[in-house]
Amino acid sequence: MMADRRRINGPPGGTRPAVFASNSQSGTGATTRAQRQRQPSELRKIFLKTGLIPTASGSSYLEFEPSASLAAARANPKSLIPPSSALKLACTVHGPKPLPRSAAFSPNLVLTTHVKYAPFAARRRKGHIRDSSERDLGVHLETALRGAIIAERWPKSGLDITITILEAEDDRWWGDAPDSHDASWGMMNVLAGCITAASAAIADAHIDCLDLVAGGVAALVSDESAGSSAAPKLMLDTDPAEHRSILSACVVGYMPARDEITELWLKGDSSKASLEDGDKRTGHEALIDGAVDAARGAHTVLAEAVRESLLSAVGQL
Amino acid sequence: MAAPEAKVAPSIPPSLSLPPSQFARLQPHAYLLAHLSPPPASNQPSIRANGRAPSQFRVTSANAGSLTHTNGSAVVRIGDTAAVCGVRAELLHTEDIASWSVSQASGSHKRRRLADLGKKSAEEDEEDEEDDEEDRAHIEDLNLLVPNLSLSTGCAPGFIPGAPPSALAQSLSHQILSLLHSTRLVRADDLRIWYQPPNLGPEEPERHNEDEQMDMDAEHSPTSESKPREIKAFWVLYIDVMIISLAGNPFDAAWAAVLAALRDTKLPKAWWDVDNETILCSDNISDARKLCLRGLPVASSFGVFEADAAAGWRPNVIPDAEEQKAQDQKRKKGSQQSWILADPDGYEEGLSQERACIVVDKEQGGKGKTVIMKMEKHGGWTVDTEELRQLVDISARRWDEMKRMLDQC
Amino acid sequence: MSNQRQASSASQVPHLSPAELSYLYTSLSLPKSSIRPDGRSPTQFRPLTAETNILPGTNGSARVGFADGTQAIVGVKAEVEKTVLSNETVDARSEFGISEDRGEQEGSAAVGGHGSWVQMSIEIPGFRDDDALPVFLSEMMRESLVGAVGSAEASDMTGGLKGRLVINKRWHWRLYIDVLLLSQPLSYPLPLLSLTTHLALLSTKLPKLKSQGEEDPFFDDDWAVAEYLYPRVSLSSAKHSARSPFVRPPVTLLVISVGENIIFDPNREEIAVADAVLAISITRDSEAGNLKLLSIRTVDPPSRLTQPGIPNSENVNMLGAVASTEDVAVLNPATGEEEVPGVWRPRRGGVKRSVIAEMVKTVLKKGGVGEEVLEGLEGVEVS
């Protein structure tokens, strides 16, 4: 492959990530798996603030609360290997602005979404050029937002939404070898964060929407502590690093005011969900309902952040 | 620029007044000029449109170590410009370096010769210099420091996300790289991973199958009893800077973020594992050590605002030093024609052609004398030696400020 | 530039006038009895021709053509590759000197297989391979392919595709699935590409392994004894045999909702007026024999980007020509918005949960569309 001459490249032979020796000997206790301390339906706190980037028409910054194990590791650092990570991302909105002359006529607002991980965002170093998972996230985000934006109010205009992920969620616990559960569960949490943050930034840019779209994640988790035979349980707002095996997960973009889903992405085997007696829902329905509940929670944060930025804007005038 | 303003002014009825923000957009040059040169009668100090004095920097804050997946990280905000820097360390095995065995052979040869010299007249300085030379060679030739700056984060409307790095981003990346090299901020010794082969006697029974290794070792120490320790790998520092918000002066923010992130960087203890034939690291945080940086170079950027936008055009005459000096003095006595603005924001950057950047450090942690690490100026000729001297003083004061802030984070 | 922008909207907007859109929508959303432009029933697929093993140089291949002339070709190639150890951590075992070589350190990866061993590339004329549409489609199809694992730790190694690719602890197969659409897509190409990929994978054979255990693998060069990637079971016995792992490649169906109706395999005109578009991936459950849901993704309905029609009451040209009572806004129960009947409005908002549940149910239920499709595909192979 040709070297990218527009960037500064490292050693031509390539480098290898550090390999950590067994930590069982050093006794740092980092091998203990991060455990979920929250109740199944308890959501993580979200830090969301809008308008931090003055050069953009709208912007927001979102951060998930660090998990209990991460917070403990930060307070009392022992190991260089972090037990889990918490989402941190910045979103900017530029526009509405005229479409380039070369673009075809559009009676609606043309939305462009762009999601990029910082090279240091994940456990593995990411490249500078977007890979397919980042492009995929961009399409998901666009679907989620397009359902909410009232696009015909801006004919012949474009809206660029850019998200930079400074720290991503883990796909699984770091100690696990990538096995049959190597699906990228962390991407779903990232998408939920992207949807919520982008909604806040769009509101900050004063683009008309039907409602604020909030993202939420739910997953079916088989918890080994309850015995291997136990059927998978439904958990909201899962941190993949805290669970041994996630069987199925679902992320939604949800508008509470209309009770509508603008984006749904469900994957994995949801057929073995154990629900309460008398619950006649199928696994995937329960999963979608769970994700919607998580999104409802995120919506309260979202509404609060938007209201706050509005009040401060009124206060300035 | 002044001409259209003169035309427009009378046509506007006096009752209709523009709010300041509109005026700032329509006539940016006149707006800033009006702020910088208040009427002499008003007795107001010259102040910039953003409320700062010409030599005043924006409020700066820094926060280090908040990103989980980095060896060191920092967020620096200078006013509305925000930069996030993450340092990731990866391993470069010497066996992956194409020319390693060759360069190493010649290098060690040199070292041995120097050691012979050293026996006769052990001078520390010379020893140091040789180290420096190898330091430089390792870091620069092996690309052990890899800074990259990204502006495609939606930080400003002009940069299309997903596009290859813009000219500005490329130039900033290279400025950071050359400053890292010229200040010799990172010591190569921090990045080396040594291996002391066990002394197994002349036969070396275990080594027979590894011809290459054997040859090299034989070449190195045919006679000595204990084998010299060898470098098995280097740490490569990937220093990635994301400009999250751009409102002027990205270089100061980016450099401050790099500096703070490097100060925060911890490298795990690493060793060559003979059984696995690879480098292993310890995840124990007490084994890890921080980088030992050379000094604390702080960058300060300046923009020059000229009262007459066309003043850049000067008569093309054969220079006469005397006359020039007299003219200059006359100019300085009269109303001020140009202002040097420290830490220009995005608005001021758009109005200034001439830029200066000064990187200074102070010896002995601030108690010693000020050292200029880099001085750069382009785009005009307003700043002369006298003013450069003043800028260095301002930069030195900025150094104190930055040191205090970086020590806190 | 414009092409790239439009591409992100999952499919191009056909150039239909608001009047045409409105007509289509009205006929498709007729309660209980939607009328499709080509006369199909809501669950009926477009007629297609299919053949397999058309490319002798591949391990498996298929060609599917729709009646409208769009064709897709899929080739599957398999290569033997050495399993590399992941660099993140050295397993504790290696420290205690149990393992002699690197391969063993990642024993668990070698048993379970890895999703990155399946590579998929989609080529669609008129799109760059990093455009949103091909990326979205290939992620969508790859996700269900590698996700189709047999029940987690159950002993059947052949359960998932990933597990099937493991040769031994140090070697595995790498699968390259190349999908080619031969002409500009006339409709959203997902059903075509998914059906073709399914057939190609069904016909894929891997040479018979002659080496044993942990040796470096070598294979029988007799193609006749090669084994199917997805072991064949005769149709009749399949339904009843509980012991044979009846694993089939997943298939992704495109389902739309218009009004209260649910319509399968929409063509280009139908998808243009859809309220919601879902891509639902299913496979046969290896144990129970019924269908299993693998993934659901919403696809951005192109109806959001269409041009609105103007009711007569707002049309300046028609002013006074019609009585204003003629078009009274009524509430569309499907979208919850006020609409003038017969006047097209671009869709807004999302999908109700009940609609999604109904769509999935139609696919999964016994004797439903999913079973029908899978059986139909099985039939192609036999002939």
Per-residue pLDDT tens over the stretch A228-287:
556 788 999 998 888 877 888 999 999 999 999 999 999 888 877 777 666 778 889 999
Q: Which chains lie within 8 Å of chain C at 3 or more CB pairs, if any? A: A, B
> Which domains does chain A carry?
40-316 (3.30.230.70)
| C330 neighbors C338 (Cβ within 8 angstroms) | yes
Q: Which of A11-15, A31-35, C69-73 has the highest mean pLDDT?
A: C69-73
**Cα dihedral B367→B371→B373→B378 (10° resolution):** 120
* pLDDT at C3 > cutoff 70: no
In the prediction, which pLDDT does B81 show? 94
Average pLDDT over residues B22-45: 83
Residue in A closest to B278 by C-alpha: A19
Q: How many CB pairs under 8 A join A and C?
A: 202
Residue in B closest to C96 by C-alpha: B275
Report the distance separating Cα B119 and Cα C316, nearest Å: 102
pLDDT, chain C, mean? 77
Which pLDDT tens digit goes with each residue over C274-289? Answer: 999 999 999 887 666 6
Using a CB–CB cutoff of 8 Å, tell me whether B163 touches chain C: no
**One CATH from 3.40.190.10, 3.40.50.2300, 1.10.3720.10, 3.30.230.70 for C2-309+344-378:** 3.30.230.70
pLDDT, chain B, mean? 81
* pLDDT at B106 > cutoff 80: no
Which pLDDT tens digit goes with each residue over C43-53? Answer: 888 888 999 98
Q: Do A285 and C357 touch (CB under 8 A)?
A: yes
| B65 neighbors A120 (Cβ within 8 angstroms) | no
Residues within 8 A of C (CB atoms), A 80-139 only: 81, 100, 102-104, 106-108, 110-113, 123-124, 130, 132-133, 135-136, 138-139
| B340 neighbors B384 (Cβ within 8 angstroms) | no
Report the distance separating Cα B56 and Cα B78, nearest Å: 12
Report the distance separating Cα C335 and Cα C352, nearest Å: 9
How, if at all, do strands A233-236 and C60-66 pair? Answer: unpaired
Domain spans of chain C?
A: 2-309+344-378
pLDDT bracket for residue B262 (50, 70, 90): very high
Report the distance separating Cα C277 and Cα A149, nearest Å: 18
Percentage, residues of chain A above pLDDT 70:
88
Which pLDDT tens digit goes with each residue over B378-392? Answer: 888 888 889 999 999
- Judged by DSSP in three states, B306 sits in strand
Q: Do B280 and C94 touch (CB under 8 A)?
A: no
- Judged by DSSP in three states, A314 sits in helix
In the prediction, which pLDDT does B118 show? 43
Using a CB–CB cutoff of 8 Å, tell me whether A208 touches chain C: no
| B161 neighbors A160 (Cβ within 8 angstroms) | yes
Position with higher pLDDT, B111 vs B156: B156
Residue in A closest to B166 by C-alpha: A6
Report the distance separating Cα B259 and Cα B95, nearest Å: 31
Report the distance separating Cα C326 and Cα C340, nearest Å: 10
Q: Do B143 and A9 touch (CB under 8 A)?
A: yes
In the prediction, which pLDDT does A291 show? 96
Position with higher pLDDT, B310 vs B227: B227
Nearest to B280 among C90, C97, C102 (CB): C90
* pLDDT at C105 > cutoff 50: no
Which residue carries 């400074």 as its tokens? A166
Position with higher pLDDT, B376 vs C186: B376
Chain B positions touching C90 (Cβ under 8 A) are 276, 280
* pLDDT at B196 > cutoff 90: no
Q: Do B68 and A10 touch (CB under 8 A)?
A: no
Position with higher pLDDT, B342 vs A281: B342
pLDDT bracket for residue B200 (50, 70, 90): low
Give this complex's ipTM. 0.90
* pLDDT at A21 > cutoff 90: no
The DSSP annotation for B184-230 comes to: T-S-HHHHEEEE-----TTT-GGGTT-HHHHHHHHHH-SS-SSPPPE
Chain C positions touching B275 (Cβ under 8 A) are 97
pTM listed for this prediction: 0.87
Which pLDDT tens digit goes with each residue over B58-95? Answer: 999 999 999 999 999 999 999 999 999 999 999 999 88
Report the distance separating Cα B161 and Cα B179, nearest Å: 27
| C292 neighbors A269 (Cβ within 8 angstroms) | yes
| B83 neighbors B250 (Cβ within 8 angstroms) | yes
| B236 neighbors A125 (Cβ within 8 angstroms) | no
The DSSP annotation for C121-144 comes to: EEE-TTS-TTSHHHHHHHHHHHHH
pLDDT bracket for residue C181 (50, 70, 90): very high
> Which domains does chain B carry?
45-97+142-196+228-408 (3.30.230.70)
Of C132, C349, B244, C5, the closest CA to residue A112 belongs to C5
Which pLDDT tens digit goes with each residue over C225-278? Answer: 888 888 775 444 444 444 445 678 889 999 999 988 999 999 888 888 999 999
